[in-house]
Structure 1
Amino acid sequence: MAATLTEDLTLVYDALFAAFGHQGWWPAETPFETMVGAILTQNVSWKNAAQAVRNLEDAGMLDPHLLAAADPADIARRIVPSRFYNQKAERIHEFAGVYVAEFGADPAAMAAVETRELRERLLALRGFGKETADTILLYACEKPVFVVDAYTRRIFSRYGLLPEGASYDRTQRLFAENLDPDVALFNDYHAQIVCLGKTVCKTSPLCDRCPIREVRGTLRCAVGRM
């Protein structure tokens, strides 16, 4: 069974890569920008989160020491496009303080911490869920942790690789247990899933445009059966 799942997941990735090309995620200049972006993109599109990041940068505030020392209200007014900006300002302020105090604002020092231990530390922060923590682990710390989102659950349940309503952990295990722990692969695979979910495999899917529909083997979409 595991070999079949490995083959299926590989075929899906290859089809997505052929259709969309390498996605080049996460779009950030520094690891810290990625960390802040992971907080800002909670419950909002990346376009809005990116605008909030640019606002911080334009204000000269995209610095861990400055954000740790800033009044959260000053952060909040810069990140209005990200929605829930007061809550996110508090989260950024708290995270920046931890990043400075515990890791010396050094991404290499943060990345040197064992993955499970670092994940638990991130999840202990107020407002940090599994997707936010794993985004930081994968994209900022370059740890082979597969990031799961709503697109992942939607697409792979439609193809019968996950039960409908699968949990975050169940979904993550599908990839972690059947693919090699490869940072570059996990990075681009997640980005490919986001691309497919946003453009094709929507709530009302455009099945005739889906690149995965050409994949054979055990894969069959429950929505767009041919």
Structure 2
Amino acid sequence: MTSTAQRLREMYDRLMTGLGPQNWWPGDNTLEILVGIILAQNTRWPNAQKALADLKQANLLSVTALLDLPDERLAALVEPAGHVNLKVRRLKNLAAYLRERFEDDVESLKERPIATLREELLAIKGIGLETVDLILLYACQKPVFVVDAATFRILQRHGLADEAMTYDELLSFFMDHLPHEVLLFKEFHALIARTGREFCRKQPLCEQCPLCDWGHRNFTTED
């Protein structure tokens, strides 16, 4: 195991010890997870969860319902998640993809190779790199790590990344130094997201953070 791999493993172990399993992503089936990921864009999970519950209660959590439902009705249901017009379009774009490529058989999404699926999902208007990788990991059970703003912030503050790193470079940093295990990737990303939300904020709460005494300030990307 390289020193970089050891550092990442230590980071994971500290977060898991301090915060425990996160058990992401909640959902009864693949479509529910997909919709939840779209609704969670740029909002807190409880807001997305409320919108998702409203869709389920109305029995409208299906590809056909998402495509056929008038925009105004769908907007009213997803309103708790915010950014309503954007999310209506993204949900309908995703549903159109599922209809065109899979004839509404959402579970068959998991059978696509990672590279093919990533390329197809990135072609859907309004779905970017982070959202695509969330879909690959949590909805499709693919061993693809997910990096977000919290990942950049935490690793920069601990000397493991610099501001010039791109999304794909930081993604490769994790992919190159961790075993490709779906459960590990799920928990690690979820733990990082929670740490960024609760501790490693713009104004950090370092003394309360599970990583408070975790250093590695002399790390270089050549390690």
1:175 maps to 174
For 2:53, the aligned partner's letter is: R
Q: Which residue of 1 aligns with 2:36?
A: 37
Partner of 2:200: 201
Residue 116 of structure 2 aligns with which residue? 117
CA RMSD after TM alignment:
1.7
**Aligned-partner Cα distance in 2 for 1:105–1:19:** 41
- 1:224 aligns with none
TM-score, structure 1 normalization: 0.92
Out of 168-177 and 137-146, give the one that drifted further: 168-177
Corresponding letter in the other structure for 1:160: G
- CA distance in 2 between counterparts of 1:187 and 1:105 reads 26
**2:24 equivalent in structure 1:** 25
Corresponding residue SS for 1:177: helix
Q: CA offset at residue 86 of structure 1?
A: 1.1
Q: Is 2:160–2:217's contact at 8 Å kept on the other side of the alignment?
A: no
1:122-201 correspondence to structure 2 within 5 Å: 122-201=121-200
Instruction: Tell me the SS of whatever aligns to 1:79.
Output: helix
Which of structure 1's runs of 4+ aligned residues deviate more than 4 A? none
TM-score by length of 2: 0.93
Seq. identity, %: 38
2:76 counterpart residue number = 77
Unaligned runs of 5+ in 1: 222-226
Matched residue type, 1:210:
C
Does the aligned pair in 1 maintain the 2:30–2:107 contact within 8 Å? no
Partner of 2:64: 65
| Residue identity matched to 1:71 | P
Q: CA deviation at 1:174?
A: 1.0
The residue matched to 1:201 in structure 2 has which SS? coil
Stretches of structure 2 that go unaligned for 5 or more consecutive residues are 219-223
CA offset digits 1:135-159 (Å, max 9, x no partner) = 1110000001111111000001111
**Contact 1:119–1:133 (Cα < 8 Å) also in 2:** yes
Residue number in structure 1 paired with 2:49: 50
Q: How many pairs align?
A: 219
